Amino acid sequence: MAPASFWNSSKTVCVMDASGRLGSALVHRLLRRGYTVHAAVHSHEEMHRYKRQSMEKKELRVFHSDPLDYHSILDALRGCCALFYSFELPSDHSTYDEFMGELEVRAAHNVLEACAQTDTIEKVVFTSSATAVVWREHDDSRTSDVDERNWSDVNFCNKFKLWHGLSKTIAEKTAWALAMDREVNMVSINAGLLMYPDLSIKDPYLLGAAEMFKDGVLVTVDLDFLVDAHICVFEDISSYGRYLCFNGIINCNDDVVKLAKMLLPSSPSQDMFDDDSVHQQRISNMKLRKLMVDFESRLQMTSD
């Protein structure tokens, strides 16, 4: 476990892409924890927003950084001890398709290569998805839970056009291969469906949601918990490998109704769903839960 002084150090970290829900929340939480933050964004609109904030906070610096532009990544990483990386869909490409994986893989390769070439980088926290874990051929004899040791089957994803799972799986595998080859200290967060007020039925994570529900692996995560998990795996020097990150599971009719009410303009009634069974949870985040015990205790102490 890292010493207490580490948690309020003046070290500099980079958040990329800092314009998304997760990235923006990470920037603000890291600033509150005493870090100097390089906010890397590829949207000019977000650049202006962060520049206004940086005028008031000397610990915040903003960089225009495109994950497909290797040199712009190097600029944002200069002087940083860590990178929090998440891939955001380009503004001109609002959903996943069979070509998105190529973009996401190129971005992951560029980012890890840039980290390997930055002498000050001590750790990379790579945001992936639970969809890079849960997709595989069904086997009725299978009784073991799914956890971070599992990988989605790319052939299965391709066959059933599960583009989000396919992209996340290939990109994360690319990042891990490069991290091991270049000896970059990396951990990944495989997040469940991020819950937020304007969540849409068009969210690419939800492709195949009915199958995930029946398999007991449709998991969700709140933004605060996701941010805590990222900071925890960064600050704890014992963290390693992959971490499945979720704090909710949708495995019964009531859960489906609640989710449907968020996603659909007209609220569905309970009668619309004829599946009254509760599907056994078949996915585990025990590895992350164990790591976060002390972290959550510290948070509780600081809030008292």
- Tens of pLDDT, residue by residue over 131-166, are 999 999 876 445 578 999 999 999 999 999 999 999
Mean pLDDT of the region 274-296: 85
CB atoms within 10 A of CB 13: 24
77: pLDDT strictly greater than 90: yes
Locate tokens 């990329």: which residue?
Answer: 16
Q: Is the peptide bond before 17 cis (omega within 30 degrees of 0)?
A: yes
Amino acid identity of residue 297, one-letter, is S
- DSSP per residue, 268-283: PPGGG------PPP-B
Mean pLDDT of the region 199-215: 92
Which of the residues are catalytic? 168
The tokens for 169 are 């799986």
Confidence label for 50 from pLDDT (cuts 50, 70 and 90):
confident
Lowest-confidence segment of 6-20, 117-131, 226-240, 257-271 by average pLDDT: 257-271
Q: How far apart are CA 65 and CA 200, in angstroms?
A: 28
Contact 255/278 with Cβ under 8 angstroms?
no
- State residue 197's pLDDT score: 85
The tokens for 228 are 């805590």
- State residue 265's pLDDT score: 65
- State residue 5's pLDDT score: 40
127: pLDDT strictly greater than 50: yes
Mean pLDDT of the region 183-195: 97
- State residue 42's pLDDT score: 85
227: pLDDT strictly greater than 60: yes
114: pLDDT strictly greater than 80: yes
Mean pLDDT of the region 254-276: 70
- State residue 3's pLDDT score: 39
Q: How far apart are CA 284 and CA 99, in angstroms?
A: 31
Contact 124/136 with Cβ under 8 angstroms?
no
Contact 38/75 with Cβ under 8 angstroms?
no
Mean pLDDT of the region 73-92: 90
269-280 burial, b for 16+ CB within 10 Å, e for fewer? eeeeeeeeeebe
- State residue 204's pLDDT score: 92
7: pLDDT strictly greater than 70: no
- State residue 278's pLDDT score: 80
Which pTM was predicted? 0.90
